[in-house]
């Protein structure tokens, strides 16, 4: 209903982008198999296009600039204001046919038709709604064992992926068969999602080398019941600026549950981790209870003071503690405040020992904080 009302409003505003079309295509460029997404946004004045394609043997996205006139599609890649390749395609029915040219005007025939997604069905729990061609990429991923490491005398096996820079771990041989059967599929899904993000990390400024996201994974907690680790990523996938950020994971080895920080700590009985379905209550709890109490606890350790200079990092501002990143470690929980982009250099981790957090343990969290 909301979508229909939006279209109706835009129609009467004479600026309508409601006639959107998305084509998911597969076919050939010369002898190579390629896949392409073409998004067309029609307004009353002109059509705007977003186009991305990748080769089956590479899987790395190439973002194209695009024009549409009288059912004729022109796509081109233009890093450094130099066109290195271009497509001239005509749509007939559901198919696109034409030619591709490189910088020296070498010509290859192109034929594209709608992707038959029945060939790429998957039971994996990752959501593919926004990037449907991830279903295709997923089918062609190849993971290879690289090394084995130890943490608390337990084996962790690290894997890399053939097409890009993407390393991650699985539980090794001296974990129980039950643990491996339960947890390794979860770890594999995380690895797959990280890999797809890496393959999708592309820019119109240069060809992707599969290294646009620099990622580090650190295992930092393990006992008979829980596995804790964190990932830290820095990336540049086009856009105005590079960026970075971290994520903490705490997984129950007995049932595979992935705990969020609100599952672990409760600074008030109104605690809710249901960000997706109950965002108002979630935000209210974070703003009214989580941020001020967490800041109070950390200040008791770090003795924060409001800086004299507005350009300095102000860790006394509750706003930066509403949605911190966190990591469950063997010494306590590490929190990193979330600053606005221009002040990202202020984002550093602060460790809170378990002893300081025990009285705030969520009653539903089944384990002691230690």
pLDDT at 86 > cutoff 60: yes
Segment 200-254, tens digit of pLDDT? 999 988 999 999 999 999 999 999 999 999 999 998 998 767 888 899 999 999 9
- Tokens, residue 42: 């029609």
CA dist 239 and 204 (Å) reads: 9
Sign of CA dihedral 305, 292, 311, 237: positive
Q: What is the gyration radius of the CA atoms in the chain, in angstroms?
A: 25
For residue range 258-269, list pLDDT tens digits in order. Answer: 999 999 999 999
Q: How many Cβ atoms from other residues are within 10 Å of residue 295's Cβ?
A: 23
pLDDT for 34-82, tens place per residue? 999 999 987 656 778 999 999 999 999 999 999 999 889 999 999 988 9
Please state the rounded mean pLDDT for residues 149-175.
Answer: 97
Interval 313-368: pLDDT, tens: 999 999 999 999 999 999 999 999 999 888 888 999 999 999 999 999 999 999 99
CA–CA dist 173, 269 (Å, integer)? 41
Q: Distance (Å, rounded) from C-alpha 191 to C-alpha 250?
A: 16
Residue pointed to by tokens 């005509």: 90
Contact 22, 37 (CB under 8 A): yes
Q: How far apart are the first and last CA of the chain?
A: 50
Name which residue leads in pLDDT, 47 or 132: 132
Grade residue 19 by pLDDT with cuts at 50, 70 and 90.
low
CA nearest to 166, candidates 215, 124, 200, 133: 215
DSSP state of 210: S
Q: Residue 54 is encoded by which pair of tokens?
A: 């990748």
Asked whether the beta carbons of 351 and 332 are under 8 A apart, the reply is yes
């Amino acid at each position: 209903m909301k979508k229909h009302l939006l279209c109706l409003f835009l129609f009467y505003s004479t600026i309508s982008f409601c006639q959107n079309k998305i084509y998911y295509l597969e076919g050939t460029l010369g002898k190579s198999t390629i896949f392409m997404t073409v998004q067309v946004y029609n307004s009353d004045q002109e059509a705007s296009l977003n186009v991305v394609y990748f080769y089956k043997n590479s899987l790395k996205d190439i973002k194209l600039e695009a024009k549409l006139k009288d059912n004729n599609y022109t796509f081109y890649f233009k890093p450094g204001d130099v066109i290195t390749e271009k497509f001239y395609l005509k749509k007939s029915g559901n198919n696109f046919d034409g030619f591709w040219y490189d910088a020296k005007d070498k010509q290859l025939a192109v034929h594209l038709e709608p992707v038959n997604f029945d060939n790429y069905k998957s039971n994996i729990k990752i959501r593919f709604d926004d990037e449907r061609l991830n279903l295709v990429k997923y089918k062609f991923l190849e993971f290879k064992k690289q090394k084995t490491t130890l943490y608390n005398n337990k084996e962790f096996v690290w894997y890399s992926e053939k097409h890009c820079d993407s390393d991650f771990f699985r539980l090794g041989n001296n974990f129980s068969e039950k643990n491996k059967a339960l947890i390794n599929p979860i770890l594999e899904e995380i690895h797959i999602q990280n890999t797809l993000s890496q393959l999708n990390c592309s820019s119109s400024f240069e060809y992707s080398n599969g290294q646009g996201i620099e990622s580090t994974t650190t295992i930092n907690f393990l006992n008979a019941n829980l596995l804790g680790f964190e990932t830290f990523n820095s990336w540049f996938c086009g856009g105005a600026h590079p960026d970075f950020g971290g994520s903490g994971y705490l997984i129950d080895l007995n049932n595979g549950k992935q705990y969020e920080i609100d599952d672990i700590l409760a600074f008030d009985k109104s605690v809710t981790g249901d960000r997706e379905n109950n965002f108002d209550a979630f935000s209210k709890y974070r703003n009214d209870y989580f941020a001020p109490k967490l800041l109070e606890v950390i200040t008791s350790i770090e003795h924060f003071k409001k800086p004299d200079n507005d350009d300095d990092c102000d860790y006394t501002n509750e706003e930066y503690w509403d949605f911190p990143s966190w990591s469950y470690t063997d010494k306590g929980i590490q929190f990193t405040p979330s600053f606005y982009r221009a002040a990202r250099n202020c984002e550093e981790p602060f460790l809170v020992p378990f002893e300081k957090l025990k009285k705030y343990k969520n009653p539903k969290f089944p384990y002691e904080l230690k």
